[in-house]
């Protein structure tokens, strides 16, 4: 008969994956080193295949061991949530929610909001990914998306949080030169991977003579170059407010505002963990966008 792994097997593999050595695994499991050694050899024999490769880096898990460790972590999280529910009652929110947004939005909007309420939900776990692609939600790779768009996909549901304006921003040393001759200032812009980005179409329409000196594959990278003082760029107002030493060097750019949406799939609306995130994120993100709009 094929060997059926049990909870102790998963705990053993997880300890060795985390510890990378017999000594550290024995500490995590609170047993002696020889017990860990015999147990892992017995498990590998029962499974008929190795789980770890011994090297100078310690015990390196193969794909099977890594998969077992991931399942062990999920079991560990579920057990922790169950224990917390018994202590605190049925009101505890637990589970894992997959959340996606762009890297620039993650730093400027999402992380400050999460920092304000996530400590109050110790049994709620987040998996964050940065992507511009709505297909992440469609393929069920994510549960919630924070997106800048005027046309959210019809198959998704969500909440309109407000709007964001674009401004030319950079270090204040560029202000006068930008006013006198925009083409004389080094510009930072998205590269050809984002040909239809609103900042690109605006610049090409307004300043056709400008040739960007720096091109980046993400708006987060554009923001970092601006923050480093390498040039100016059209960025969202909330991004400009988040960059040290950077100021808005223009009024909001005409025709460049965009709506901000928190979106999910219809089948996720009734999931308690997803609904909790929606309810916590919505007022905080709206407040941030309103504060930024007041400063613009």
Task: Report CA-CA distances (Å) from 274 to 5, 9, 13, 82, 278.
Answer: 32, 32, 31, 18, 6
Enumerate residues 6+ apart whose C-beta is below 8 A from 131.
Answer: 100, 101, 102
Provide the 3-class DSSP secondary structure of residue 197.
coil
The span from the CA of 235 to the CA of 241, in Å, is 10
Domain boundaries, the chain: 7-88, 95-164+258-295, 166-248
What's the mean pLDDT when you consider all of the chain?
Answer: 88
Q: Tell me, yes or no, if the two domains 7-88 and 166-248 fold the same way.
A: no
Which of 3.30.70.330, 1.20.140.10, 1.10.645.10, 1.10.10.10 is the CATH number of 7-88?
1.10.10.10
Neighbours of 196 (CB within 10 A): 7
Task: Report CA-CA distances (Å) from 177 to 35, 225, 243, 249.
Answer: 71, 18, 21, 11
pLDDT band for position 281 (50/70/90)? very high
Per residue in 51-98, pLDDT (tens digit) is 999 888 889 999 999 999 988 887 887 777 667 666 666 567 777 889
Contact call for residues 144 and 100 (beta carbons, < 8 A): yes
Predicted pLDDT of residue 133: 62
The span from the CA of 282 to the CA of 264, in Å, is 13
The span from the CA of 42 to the CA of 60, in Å, is 18
Task: Report CA-CA distances (Å) from 6 to 3, 13, 67, 74, 110.
Answer: 10, 11, 14, 14, 39
Domain 166-248 has CATH 3.40.50: no
Fold assignment, 95-164+258-295? D-Maltodextrin-Binding Protein; domain 2 (3.40.190)
pLDDT at 121 over 90: no
Contact call for residues 33 and 26 (beta carbons, < 8 A): yes
pLDDT at 178 over 90: yes
Task: Report CA-CA distances (Å) from 236 to 25, 194, 223.
Answer: 48, 16, 10
pLDDT at 184 over 60: yes
């Amino acid at each position: 008969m094929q060997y059926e792994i049990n909870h102790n097997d998963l705990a053993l593999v997880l300890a060795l994956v985390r510890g990378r050595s017999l000594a550290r695994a024995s500490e995590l499991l609170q047993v002696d080193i020889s017990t860990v050694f015999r147990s892992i050899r017995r498990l590998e024999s029962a499974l008929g295949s190795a789980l770890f490769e011994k090297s100078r880096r310690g015990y390196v898990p193969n794909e099977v061991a890594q998969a077992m460790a991931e399942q062990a972590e999920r079991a560990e999280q579920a057990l922790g949530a169950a224990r917390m529910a018994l202590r605190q009652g049925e009101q505890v929110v637990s589970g894992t929610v997959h959340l996606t947004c762009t890297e620039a939005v993650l730093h400027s909007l999402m992380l400050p909001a999460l920092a304000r309420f996530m400590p109050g939900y110790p049994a709620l776990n987040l998996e964050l990914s940065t992507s511009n692609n709505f297909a992440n939600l469609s393929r069920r790779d994510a549960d919630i998306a924070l997106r800048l768009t005027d046309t959210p996909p019809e198959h998704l549901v969500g909440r309109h949080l407000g709007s964001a304006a674009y401004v030319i921003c950079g270090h204040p040393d560029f202000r006068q030169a930008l006013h006198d001759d925009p083409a004389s200032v080094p510009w930072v812009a998205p590269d050809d991977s984002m040909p239809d980005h609103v900042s690109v179409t605006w610049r090409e329409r307004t300043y056709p003579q400008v040739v960007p000196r720096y091109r980046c594959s993400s708006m987060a990278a554009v923001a970092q170059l601006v923050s480093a003082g390498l040039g100016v760029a059209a960025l969202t107002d909330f991004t400009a407010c988040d960059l040290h030493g950077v100021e808005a060097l223009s009024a909001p750019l005409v025709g460049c505002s965009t709506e901000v949406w928190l979106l999910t799939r219809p089948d996720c609306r009734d999931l308690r963990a997803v609904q909790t995130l929606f309810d916590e994120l919505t007022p905080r993100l709206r407040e941030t966008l309103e504060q930024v709009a007041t400063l613009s």
